[in-house]
Each structure stands twice: as C-alpha cells, then as structure tokens.
Amino acid sequence: METARVLRELGFTVRHIGTFSISVEATRSLWEKSFNTKVEKRTQPISTTHPEIGSVEYWSHIADTKFDIPRTLQSQVERAYPQLPPILFESSLPPRVDYHHLEVPADVGMVLRADGVHQHGIIGRGVLVAMADTGFYRHPFYALHGYRYHATLAPDATNVDQDAFGHGTAEAANIFSCAPDIDFIGVKFGPNATLAFKAASDLEPAVMTNSWGYHLPGLTTLPNFLKPLEAAVLEAVNLRGIIVCFSGGTAILPSRR
C-alpha cells in the first residue's frame, strides 16, 4: 500500500495492488522520466496463424538502455516492466473449409472425452471458471444453450458487452463443451493481460483458463517482463488453490510439397 501511495504521488494510475506486484498505467513521458529510461513503439500480430486479424502496437524497453528506480521507491520496488500484449492462439474467425471440422459443443466435448463423464452427471455444477480474454459478447449461442455466461472488466478495460476481436467470445464455447453447467465469468482484457489475469484470480474461481500466451523461441527461462505474470500464477495456484490452465500454443505443420 505504501508503494502504491508513492506511485500515485509520482503521477501513476494504480490499477491493481497484488500480493507480489502492482499494476499501474502511465504516459510514455512519465514512465521515461520516472525511471530515467527510454521506450520505443513496436508492433505485434494479434494472431500468428491468422495475420488477417491485424496487429497491435505497444511500448517496449530498448535493449541496453539505462533504467533507474526512483529514489523514493528504491527500498520497495525491484523492477518495473511494460507488459507486452499476448498472442491469441486460436482465431475467432469461423473455418472457411470444405472438409469436416469440429463443432461446439458436441464435437469438442467428444474429442476431449468429456461426454463420458457427462453420462455420469459430472457437468461442472457449482464450479466457478474464470477466463481472461479479449471480451465476451452476449452471443445468442450461449442463451440458446442456457449456459451461465457472464462477463466483467479488467480495471483497464471498457465496454463489457463488446469483443472487438471475437476471441474470448469464441473460446468460451470450448469450456462449456467440456462442462456445460459451470458458472462462467469472463474478464475482458485492457492493454495489460497480466492485470486481467490478476483480476480474474481475485474472483477466487476453482479454475482459470487462458487461451493466450507469448512467443518465446529458444528460451529456457521466462524473460523478466513476465515475472509479474509468473508471480500472479504462483499466487493463484499455491496461495488460493486455483487450477490454472494456459494454452500450449499453436502447432504449425510444414508443407509436404
């Protein structure tokens, strides 16, 4: 709380105070001035498998650039990291193919062998599942099936009934295919996916599912900018007893030609 107070005095907007990290927002000039550093704008595709969805811009540290913790925070803050946008591992676009593909809910539940436990009455009743993603539009699909499908906002998100990319709206259908009687709540991303994850964890669900991640080729350890997310995951699992699931990524098959 004391760290948050100092950050507010410096001009930062505090969005979330967690056990191990604080999520804040700042202008580029305030960030560079406060930490005596420089950032640059970069661009990243929203989905690596469907470039037609578009790209997103974000601010990132410049390699080998000076970085100093302000004197008023030196005893309280180890490091500050701009958070990169996640990569969406599945497209929200419906398949445009002339061959068989899976449909929800029946096909997905069958392939994941969930239909076997459904026959024994295990359908997720009384279980709260939270999901951080791009948004959760009230698609008629969910009302038609009678699913308990709800949405809320991360502290830096707006327009709870909108999903500009359709990813979260689509991915939620896979969860209901496996457990149709759960209580589901989607937490809409703002610019900071870690903040959305922390907001979802604060709901203390039984399960958190996340169909997004980061492209980290050749790395054996997590990069520093993911330490706040790592700490939030460890808190959710070890301190709150939440089952946390993340997508393993998207497999790209080489051409056989």
Per-residue pLDDT of the chain (257 residues; tens, 9 = 90+): 999 999 999 999 999 999 999 999 999 999 999 999 999 999 998 887 777 778 999 999 998 899 999 999 999 999 999 999 998 876 555 667 778 788 889 899 999 999 999 999 999 999 999 999 999 999 989 999 999 999 999 999 999 999 999 999 999 999 999 999 999 999 999 999 999 999 999 999 999 999 999 988 888 889 999 999 999 999 999 999 999 999 886 554 555 54
User: Within a 10 A sphere around the Cβ of 75, how many other Cβ atoms?
Assistant: 9
Domain encompassing residue 20: 2-85
Whether the CB-CB separation of 207 and 127 falls below 8 Å is answered with yes
Closest CA to 186 of 169, 162, 206, 204: 169
Do 110 and 229 share a structural domain? yes
Give the pairing type, strands 212-213 and 87-88.
Answer: antiparallel
User: Within a 10 A sphere around the Cβ of 43, how many other Cβ atoms?
Assistant: 8
Number of domains in the chain: 2
What pTM does this model have? 0.78
With respect to residue 98, please indicate whether it lies within any of the assigned structural domains.
Answer: no
For residue 52, give the DSSP letter.
G
Do 55 and 9 share a structural domain? yes
Helix (H, G, I), strand (E, B) or coil at 207: strand
